[in-house]
Amino acid sequence: MADYFDQSGCDTIELVCVKVRQLSGGLLDMFRISLFMFIVFGMFGVVSFYLTPYLLHKGFEAGQIGTIMAVGALVSIVSQPFWGYISDKKKTVKRILFLLLISCLIASTGLFAMEHLLLIIVMYACYMFFCSPIGPLAEALSLSYAQEHRREFGRMRVWGEIGVGVSALSVGYLVKAVGIDKLWIIFLSCGAIAVMAALQLRESKVTPAPVDLKALGKLFMQRRLLWLLLIVLIVGIPHRMNDSMLSLYLKELEAPESIIGIAWFFGTMSTVPAMMFAGRLFRRWNAIGIMTIAAVVYSIRWFIYSATDSAAVLIAAQVLHGATFPLFFLATIHYMMTIVPAELRATGQSAFAVTFAGLGGLVGNAAGGYAIQLFGAGHAYAIGGALALIGAAALVGTYLYNRRL
């Protein structure tokens, strides 16, 4: 009897130790991926928000800058699904992320060294080929961690938004102090830190079945997925235009780089509550309903931008970013998880990014840049507001159709 209780006690202690190790390992995974999201999205913010004023400083016009950004978006349409497929096929995200980060830093040195328009376009295309898949792959890894440890994805993804906000604000003041021509030093420094953070990541234990090309073809034959991606494109066009052209708009209003940083700091930090508490929202509302609300608020936001020529109003309206992008993004990912097979999750994540950031960026940057140059920012943002309303109407129609099924 004594031996029985001794053995039972040992088994209990061993079970408790295993649980403690699992818990501590899960917390460490959460910390590492959250830190990586903070750093790598902060790195993205350097180029996303300050490449436009950097190119203006070099003497390029709005239409030319829009063309540069559009070419990068076009490349991302190919690179994101390509690297997503490679990641799914090889069953590794960490090694792909490390490779992409190193290649991205190498390409960026060429981008910042070029002076001629054509060479800048070529080097920006190379940069986007390696850089644009990093975000979707990091998000796919975060989703796997969330599934493995039963945590909310939004609570990890929010650190990416915080990183963007901190980067936007701090880089704005750095650029004001040292000059916009030193942007390359800031970016390479952030990139080196991101590489070190990537080395600390662990592959997720969630290992879905291997992917094959036949399954990939079937994925993009799903009418529900294609319809969803069309709506994502409609809503994404003005969003991506704003990502690149808000800096240009503020520069036209003679705002310094530090004001650009403040505008994006307000915008990105406003996403924190939505990211943190999105899980509760999803338990009460369905994903299509949340996407519809986000699209309506998008429309209100763009119409406000179209009606003002005040930098202060633009900065204040940036707070609406918190009720648009995070809700639309998380709800779309949540909905996609119900229609995309588990073994194609990274590919599905890339499909969303390709549509929203790639195709949306291609149209938004090219058309938006020339629209601002020819007609002014007000008209460009008014078109964006109309597109967001069309997206909201399509989502309402989708909700009504789904209820009939």
* Tens digit of each residue's pLDDT (9 = 90 or more) over 117-158: 999 999 999 999 999 889 888 887 887 787 777 777 777 888
Q: Quick one: residue 355, left, alpha or beta (phi over 0 = left, psi -120 to 50 = alpha)?
A: alpha
Q: In CATH, what number is assigned to the domain containing residue 135?
A: 1.20.1250.20
Which residues constitute the domain of residue 63?
A: 2-404
Query: Distance (Å, rounded) from C-alpha 337 to C-alpha 217?
Result: 17
Q: How many domains does the chain have?
A: 1
* pLDDT value at residue 296: 96
Q: Residue type for 73, please?
A: A
Q: List C-alpha distances in Å: 317 to 240, 297, 313.
A: 16, 11, 6
What's the pLDDT band for 17 if we cut at 50, 70, 90?
A: very low
* Tens digit of each residue's pLDDT (9 = 90 or more) over 306-330: 999 888 999 999 999 989 988 998 8
Q: List C-alpha distances in Å: 79 to 160, 303, 343, 367, 401.
A: 21, 33, 19, 22, 34
Question: Is 1's pLDDT higher than 60?
Answer: no
* pLDDT value at residue 5: 43
Work out the angle at residue 80's Cα, subtended by the Cα atoms of residues 142 and 359, and round it to the nearest 5 degrees.
Answer: 115
* pLDDT value at residue 216: 58
